[in-house]
Amino acid sequence: MRSLTLRRFPLCSFFTKDIRRRRPCHNFSAAQSRQVAELSEQEHRLLHRLYGGLIQGQRACLAEAITLIESSHGRKKELAQVLLQKVLSYHREQELLNNGKPLAFRVGLSGPPGAGKSTFIECFGKMLTGKGHRVSVLAVDPSSSTSGGSLLGDKTRMTELSKDMNAYIRASPTRGTLGGVTRTTNEAILLCEGGGYDVVLVETVGVGQSEFAVADMVDMFVLLLPPAGGDELQGIKRGIIEMADLVAVTKADGDLLVPARRLQAEYISAMKLLRKRSKIWKPEVLRIAARYGEGIVEMWDKMTTFRDLMLSSGELQRRRSRQQSVWMWNLIQENVLEHFRNHPAVCDQIPLIEGKVLNGLLSPGLAADLLLKAFSARD
Ligand SMILES: Nc1nc2c(ncn2[C@@H]2O[C@H](COP(=O)(O)OP(=O)(O)OP(=O)(O)O)[C@@H](O)[C@H]2O)c(=O)[nH]1
């Protein structure tokens, strides 16, 4: 028993409004109440405060709610899910009022270190808030889990935008697996949308697996490429270029204008040969100079054309639903694998069997069979 608990609320009381309005929420709350113990009065108050503040657009509540979903503490994780479900039903309600159109445009931004991402986001974000949009920037930086420092999301990178009351900038947690980062980023996107941010930018460094994960959680994936980056560009995988709905060659000014034009031409030809990601949209390659604010409005125009086309054809909605199922299976895969690796029936045998595979004494297939058999016979 928690000492602070005075009174216990059944979980469904947090959903009362939904229960009256729609059956699906009722069903959901019943399903969830089987998994989450009843809320204490203190927890109930916390969730109400966060939810109320969040949907009124208070940045402090959004920040606290994201911290809750990032928590690794068991009970906090449960509370985060209750809050998230509440935000999701608010979402559905708002989307219905919006004729079924999504509340926010989710844009993924990737590019090698030094490509000019923060300069672009600063300029692009200010342009959007100037047009009356509310912009949130979520930075996914799995590399920081090994380096210990946060490369992205550092507010000093976007000094002007971080002072803007219509913008919210947040770095992803600097620990955990890519799957963990993916989960919290996905959930943070939903919270930002619940908080009234109608443009959500998800930034990632163009190295490792993170950009694939980000491409799978946004409506549009944009790749920023620096003009004179022979070496950096080598590291960009063909797969990630195939994911791009739009490519922007950055720093197209001064001495870099000529190489920027050359790179743009190269990418225009190269992208013709790549596999198409969408049936109705042909990825384009633009040139921008964010330092001077050049090409930024044109880029937004291109992005809104994309969004409108994808919306009217229904492709955006299909992309979003496919992403939901990809996300679910990724989480299942990760959890099942972790369960397998840590299970007492197999964890002691893994080093031994893997050692035999490494020394060529056991085939990988037989080794996998042995471990899986031990796991299936665990009870
Ligand atoms: N000439 C020129 N330089 C630019 C432009 N945009 C960015 N830069 C410069 O390029 C360098 C890298 O820019 P950033 O915006 O920090 O790049 P980034 O991709 O965020 O870099 P990381 O934080 O390392 O990932 C800085 O020195 C910028 O001043 C531009 O439009 N023109």
Residue type, 245: D
Q: Could you tell me what percent of the chain has a pLDDT over 70?
A: 80
- Please report, for residues 114, 146, 290, 370, the alpha-carbon distance to residue 122 in angstroms, rounded to integers and kept in the order given: 14, 27, 9, 54
In single-letter form, the type of residue at position 210 comes to S
**Residue 157 predicted with pLDDT over 80:** no
Ligand 1 center to 132 CA (angstroms): 26
Give the Cα separation of 350 and 367 in Å (integer): 9
Q: What is the CATH number of domain 8-97?
A: 1.20.5.170
Q: Which fold has domain 105-313?
A: Rossmann fold (3.40.50)
Q: What is the pLDDT of residue 181?
A: 67
Q: Give, using CA atoms, the residue closest to atom 21 of ligand 1.
A: 114
Query: What is the mean predicted confidence (pLDDT) over 137-160?
Result: 63
Q: Is the CB of 291 under 6 A from ligand 1?
A: yes
Among 103-117, 206-220, 287-301, which is the least confidently predicted range? 206-220
Phi then psi for 360, rounded to 5 degrees?
75, 15
Q: Whose CA is nearest to atom 32 of ligand 1?
A: 251
Would you give the DSSP letter of residue 157? G
The CA distances from residue 346 to 340, 351, 364, in Å, are: 7, 10, 16
Residue 26: predicted pLDDT: 34
Predicted pLDDT at 248: 96
Is there an atom of ligand 1 within 6 Å of 161 CB? no
Using most ligand atoms within 8 A of CB, pick from 119, 157, 204, 255 the residue to mutate for ligand 1: 119
Q: Nearest CA to 216 among 136, 320, 68, 89?
A: 320
Q: By C-alpha distance, which of 183, 184, 171 is closest to 68?
A: 184
pTM of model > 0.90: no
Atom of ligand 1 nearest to the CA of 291: 31
Domain boundaries, the chain: 8-97, 105-313, 323-376
- Residue 4, pLDDT score: 37
Percent of the chain with pLDDT over 90: 46
Mean pLDDT, residues 101-108 taken together: 93
Mean pLDDT of 201-220: 82
Instruction: Check if 137 has its Cβ closer than 6 Å to any atom of ligand 1.
Output: no
Instruction: State the pLDDT confidence band at 168, using cuts at 50, 70 and 90.
Output: very high
Yes or no: domain 323-376 corresponds to CATH 1.10.287:
yes
Give me the pLDDT at residue 171, please: 81
